[in-house]
Amino acid sequence: MVFKKTSISMLAGAALLGLAASVSAQTVRIANQGDALSLDPHSLNESLQLSTVSNAYEALVGWNKKLEMVPMLATSWKQMSPTVWRFELRKGVNFHDGTPFTADDVVFTLGRVAGDGSDMKAYTNDVKEARKIDSHTIEIETKTPLPILPQIMSQVYIMSKKWCEENNATRPVDRRKGIENTASFKTNGTGPFHVRERQPGVRTVFVRNPRYWGKVESNVQEVVFTPIASPATRVAALLSGEIDVMEPVPVQDIGRVNSNPATRVLAGPELRTIFLGMDQKRDELQFSSVKGKNPFKDKRVRQAFYQAIDIDGIKKTVMRDASRPTALMVGPGINGWTEAQDKRLPYDVEAAKKLLADAGYGSGFEVTMNCPNDRYVNDAQICQAVAANLSRIGVKINLQAETKGTYFPKILRRDTSFYLLGWTPSTYDAHNALNALMRCPDDKTGAGQFNLGSYCNPKLDELTVKLGAETDKAKRDAMIKEAFQIHAEDVGHLPLHQQTLAWGVSKKVELTQLADNYMPFKWITVKK
């Protein structure tokens, strides 16, 4: 849902008044610059979306506070053969509506994730079949050996087959087409919280699930989530005590939040990498002044853009040093990252100009750049800085910055020429980024689902498939290194930086900050 600026302010104000009226010792009030675009766990592969719904829905496998893999809806798993995994499911678990959780729900969910409208296909593109063995045992057969299947399953949230069928929600909410269903506005998972109230763009209220099977390290009975687009309004609400947690804290306000006696900033490195992508498929670049050809198909143009970007300047002026410039599509903490490969091409305006001229664009050209203004830390400002950098080599950027509610549907349709995106490898392994961001796109299987500029190198694809099946870590890491080298030599994307997490938190609240930027409500405590 999209509102005009004035409407957002009015709604934020109304929501805050509502918060003040409903406060108790067991209520925590959370604000973010944006909202989850749907409550459907398969609708959008975006961390805020998945973090929000993960409080209501659960996967077979999960992660603890130390980001170690732990059993969730599956109590155990083992390989029956190189391509077959057996999962023993947890008994005595019910969905929020009281329906028992069984193997039928898992098989149904895997089919739903792989189907039309799903934004999570990349997690099932290597799955050949999911089959029920008995009421609480399933097997997943993969197309090739896939030793990291349990990690992959950690992002596949299980839905009730019965509930989806009864509510015409057997297919995911398709963000590309704007098609909604019951799963957009209601939840029926197995998680520790369920949604009591949903007003998209205004507020979402979660309450404790009395049927929850697991342990909840929290005294919170109610969570009120409010999107507040204005950074100044968000900070003011935290400082005044109208909200308890906010994310993100604008980098320029970190000192102010820390100096307030009732609040603090939780800061730490984030696994997310921010990067730029370019349309490398169309024969004629749309939304540009170039006719009859596509400059981004020429490596020299892509490299010129790369070397024209003053990443240290962006770090200093836009990010206030709260970022880490990168040359890779993954950062430290992800298996496959190496310091040796994380070396950027030098910032060199003159070299960039020569590359453009050699490619036949000595006079530059115009192109539209798509960018969100409420998704990442200072996202619109980053794009403005990139536009200013590129103007020095004769490239005029027509910047289209907009709320993620309209931004994501547009770029997910690949209706873009030049765009900004962030990615967190949710499996903590480079295969995730290679498979989703760098493989040749295949809409049928979900491979390269977020490779929105359609970069394509068959050798990289071959390596990605092979390393997914490789069990020897040394051989596997060598393949990752080779794949990253191919991508770097191709200048397949323009990596920028890993941003720093900054959450503003009341000193009355204790919570766990994870490097993947997920915020589990079951680990939040409000001091009485």
Mean pLDDT confidence for 389-404? 97
Q: What is the pLDDT of residue 426?
A: 85
Q: What is the pLDDT of residue 176?
A: 76
Query: What is the per-residue burial (b if ≥16 Cβ within 10 Å, else e) of 411-443?
Result: bbebebbbbbbbbbbbbbbbbbbbbbbbbbbee
Q: What is the pLDDT of residue 136?
A: 98
DSSP assignments along 243-299, one per residue: -SEEEPPPGGGHHHHHHSTTEEEEEEEEEEEEEEEE--S-SS-TTBS--SS-GGGSH
Q: What is the pLDDT of residue 20?
A: 40
The residues facing 397 across adjacent strands are 367
Q: What is the pLDDT of residue 24?
A: 47
Mean pLDDT confidence for 226-249? 96
Mean pLDDT confidence for 460-477? 94
**Is the pLDDT score of 408 beyond 60?**
yes
- 478 vs 481: CA distance, rounded Å: 5
Q: Name the 3-class secondary structure at 478.
A: helix
Tokens of 150: 């349990």
**Is the pLDDT score of 221 beyond 80?**
yes
Could you read off the pLDDT of 3-30 as tens digits, one per residue?
233 333 333 444 443 444 344 449 999 9
Q: How far is CA 238 from the centre of its chain?
A: 25
Mean pLDDT confidence for 191-215? 96
Residues whose CB is less than 8 angstroms from the CB of residue 226 and which lie 6 or more positions away in sequence, other chains included: 12, 15, 16, 19, 29, 30, 31, 32, 202, 203, 243
pLDDT above 70: percentage of residues in the chain = 95
Tell me the pLDDT of the chain averaged across its residues. 93
- Residue 342 — very low, low, confident or very high, per pLDDT cuts 50/70/90? very high
Could you read off the pLDDT of 415-425 as tens digits, one per residue?
999 999 999 99
Q: Where are the domains of the chain?
A: 5-244+508-526, 270-500
Closest C-alpha to 298, from 374, 381, 210, 358? 358
Could you read off the pLDDT of 28-77 as tens digits, one per residue?
999 999 999 999 999 989 999 999 999 999 999 999 998 899 999 999 99
**Is the pLDDT score of 265 beyond 70?**
yes
Could you read off the pLDDT of 73-120 as tens digits, one per residue?
999 999 999 999 999 999 999 999 999 999 999 999 999 999 988 999
Q: What is the pLDDT of residue 175?
A: 76
Q: What is the pLDDT of residue 7?
A: 33
What CATH architecture does domain 5-244+508-526 belong to?
3-Layer(aba) Sandwich (3.40)
**Is the pLDDT score of 388 beyond 70?**
yes
Mean pLDDT confidence for 469-492? 96
- 436 vs 421: CA distance, rounded Å: 13
Q: What is the pLDDT of residue 190?
A: 98
- 391 vs 475: CA distance, rounded Å: 43
The residues facing 420 across adjacent strands are 276
270-500 has which CATH code?
Answer: 3.10.105.10
Could you read off the pLDDT of 294-315 as tens digits, one per residue?
999 999 999 999 999 999 999 9
Closest C-alpha to 125, from 142, 108, 112? 142
Q: Cα Rg for the chain, rounded, in angstroms? A: 23
Q: What is the pLDDT of residue 445?
A: 83
Q: What is the pLDDT of residue 5?
A: 32
What is the DSSP pairing of strand 494-506 with strand 396-402? unpaired
Q: How far is CA 237 from each of CA 240, 245, 379, 435, rounded to the nearest angstrom?
A: 5, 10, 22, 40
Q: What is the pLDDT of residue 123?
A: 92
- DSSP-derived secondary structure letter, 326: -
